[in-house]
Structure 1
Amino acid sequence: MKLQHQLGGLEGLDGPLDFEKRVFVQEWEKRIFGIHAAMMGLSRSLRDALPDYDIDAVPTAFASAWTWADLRSGAEAMNPFAYFQYRYYEKWLGGITAYLLDTGYLTPEELDAATNRFREDPAAPLPSGENPAVDAQVVRYLREGDSPRRGPADPAFAVGAHVTVRNPPAVAHTRLPGYLRGCGGTVERVFEGSYRYFRSTGPDGLGEPMAVYIVRFDPAQVWGTAAEPTGGRLYAELYETYLAPADQEGQQ
C-alpha cells in the first residue's frame, strides 16, 4: 500500500507532528491491546511456530489465524481519509472488529446490542470467561513469542552492495515503505539466517523464508530538496524480495 504504510515524504503531510510519548492514552486502549495479544496467543498459526506450541490442546473457541499481518491489513485497507482521522488504537479496534464479524465470531446484531448496552451504562460489567489453560497459553506466548527465523539463507547481496528498491504491485498489505520505492541504497548489514513473514502477500513477494538486510539511504536521494540538510543517513530493514541490483534500477 503506497499511501498508508510509513508515510515519510508524502506530499501534503508537512504540518506539525504530535509525538505522543504515552503507550496508552486512554484505559480502553489497554483492553484493545489485550484482545489482540490474546488472539495472537491462540492463533492457529502457532501450529508452525518456534518454539513449539500445542495449540490444539488449548480449550479455546478461537479457531482462526490472527497475526500482526492481519492487524496491519485491517488498518492498511481502511479508507485513506478514515486512516488519517482515527487514532492508533481506534485503527486496531476497527481491524479487529471487522475480522471478528467477517469470520463469524460476532454478528452485526450482537455487536450493535453490546455497543448500545455500554453506551447506556458505561459501567456495565464486562463479559467474563476465565480459563486457566487459555490464560497460560496467552501468557506463554507473550513471554516466548514466535521467532520468524527459519534456518540458513543464501543472501543475494553482501555488505557494501549497491541496490535499488523494487516497485512491486500495490497489494492489500506490504512491509515495503512507500517512500523507498525506486530508491538506491547500500547494504549495511545482512542478518544471519532466513526469515519468514506471517503469510504470503501475493505479488508483493513475501511468504517463503528469505534473507533480510539493513540498507542505508541518503535522505537527499529519497526526498530530494525536502530533505533536511543536517539530517543523518536513513536505514531500513528490508526483505530480499524488495531489492534488486543497482544496475536494474526501475525494475518492477
Structure 2
Amino acid sequence: MKLQHYLGGLEGLPEITTLEKRVFVEGWEKRIFGIHVAMMGLSNHLGSALPGYPIDEVPTTFKDEWTWADLRTGAEAMNPFDYFKYRYYEKWLGGITQFFIDKGYVTEEELTARMAEPAPTETETKPQIDDQVIAYLRNGDSPRRDVAHPKFAVGERVRVTNVPAGSHTRLPGYLRGRVGTIERIFEGDYAYFVHTGDGIGDPMPVYAVAFDPVEIWGPRAEPGPETLYAELYEAYLEPTKEQS
C-alpha cells in the first residue's frame, strides 16, 4: 500500500508550517483546472450517464473517459516521494499530462517543444462543445444506478477488508482490518466510474460505518465519547467472525 493511502492513521508527520488559503497560487493552475473540467464534460462515458448527454453529437476529438476517479488514479499512482513533494495542482498536471501521453494525444517530444514556446493565447471552441461542458457543470453525473440492495443491516458489526490496493483506492489504509458498526445505509446502489481493482466499480451499496477510536488507535486514542465515521463501499466490508 502506498503511503498516500495511509495518512489518516500515521503519527509523527511533520507539522504543517504554511497553510495556503488561495484556491489558485499560480495562473497556470486555473488552466489545468479548466482542462480537467472540459475533459469531464466531454468524457465518452456521459453517453450512458445519468442524466443522459448527447455526447456522440458533440464535435470533439476527445474520445476517452475521464472522471474524478481517473484524476485521482493519476495522482495517487505517483511515487510517494513525488506525491508529497508537489502541490495540489502540480499533481493534477502530472496525472493529466501522463494521460494524454498514454492515450496518444501528444508525445513527450511535442510537450518538450511546446514548453519552449510562449504561453498559448485563448482559442475559440465550437458552440456545441461549450454547451456540453456547461450542461455538465450544471447537471453533473450521478453515480446512483438503483435503489440499495444491502448485504448488511443497520446495527450490524462489520470488519473492513484488507484487499490489495492498486494505484488508486477509496479505502483508507488505517481502517483496514478494523471492526465497526453499520450506522446508515445510503438510499441507492452507487457506481464508481473506474474499476480500481480492489472491488469497486460496479454499482453497490454504500454504508456509513461508526468506529470506536480505541478500535483504531488502541490505548493511544484520546479519552472521551468520540466516534469516527467512514462512508465505505460494500466491497470493503465483510462479516465479523461471530456473524459469519
TM-score with structure 2 setting the length? 0.92
Change (3 A) 1:34 1:232: farther
Distance in 1 (CA, whole Å) between partners of 2:219 and 2:19 is 24
Task: Verify the 8 A CA contact 1:219 1:231 in the aligned structure 2.
Answer: no
Counterpart amino acid of 1:34?
G
Counterpart amino acid of 1:144?
N
- The alpha carbon displacement at 1:201 in A equals 1.9
Task: Verify the 8 A CA contact 1:164 1:246 in the aligned structure 2.
Answer: yes
- The alpha carbon displacement at 1:12 in A equals 4.3
Counterpart amino acid of 2:25?
V
1:149 and 2:144 are equivalent in the alignment:
yes
Distance in 2 (CA, whole Å) between partners of 1:38 and 1:189 is 35
Partner of 2:66: 66
- The alpha carbon displacement at 1:243 in A equals 0.4
Partner of 2:234: 240
- The alpha carbon displacement at 1:20 in A equals 3.6
Partner of 1:176: 171
1:205 and 2:199 are equivalent in the alignment:
yes
Correspondence list, 1:128-139, <5 A: 128-139=123-134
- The alpha carbon displacement at 1:47 in A equals 1.5
Per-residue CA deviations over 1:12-53 (Å, capped at 9, x if unaligned) read 425336544432233322211111010000001112100000
Partner of 2:215: 221
Task: Verify the 8 A CA contact 2:159 2:240 in the aligned structure 1.
Answer: yes
Counterpart amino acid of 1:126?
T
Partner of 1:121: none
- The alpha carbon displacement at 1:2 in A equals 4.5
Partner of 1:113: 113
Counterpart amino acid of 1:51?
P
1:195 and 2:179 are equivalent in the alignment:
no
Change (3 A) 1:17 1:107: same
Counterpart amino acid of 1:130?
T
TM-score with structure 1 setting the length? 0.90
How many residues get paired? 244
Correspondence list, 1:13-162, <5 A: 13-16=13-16, 18-118=18-118, 124-126=119-121, 128-162=123-157
Distance in 1 (CA, whole Å) between partners of 2:208 and 2:236 is 12
Query: What secondary structure, in the 3-state scheme, does the structure 2 residue paired with 1:212 have?
Result: strand
Task: Verify the 8 A CA contact 2:204 2:234 in the aligned structure 1.
Answer: yes
Query: What secondary structure, in the 3-state scheme, does the structure 2 residue paired with 1:214 have?
Result: strand
Change (3 A) 1:81 1:189: same
% of aligned pairs identical? 64
- Where in structure 2 are there 5+ consecutive unaligned residues? none
Distance in 2 (CA, whole Å) between partners of 1:183 and 1:2 is 19
Distance in 1 (CA, whole Å) between partners of 2:110 and 2:3 is 34
Distance in 2 (CA, whole Å) between partners of 1:248 and 1:73 is 36
Counterpart amino acid of 1:147?
S
Query: What secondary structure, in the 3-state scheme, does the structure 2 residue paired with 1:193 have?
Result: strand
Change (3 A) 1:159 1:38: same
CA-atom RMSD, angstroms?
Answer: 2.1
Counterpart amino acid of 1:62?
F
Task: Verify the 8 A CA contact 1:2 1:177 in the aligned structure 2.
Answer: no
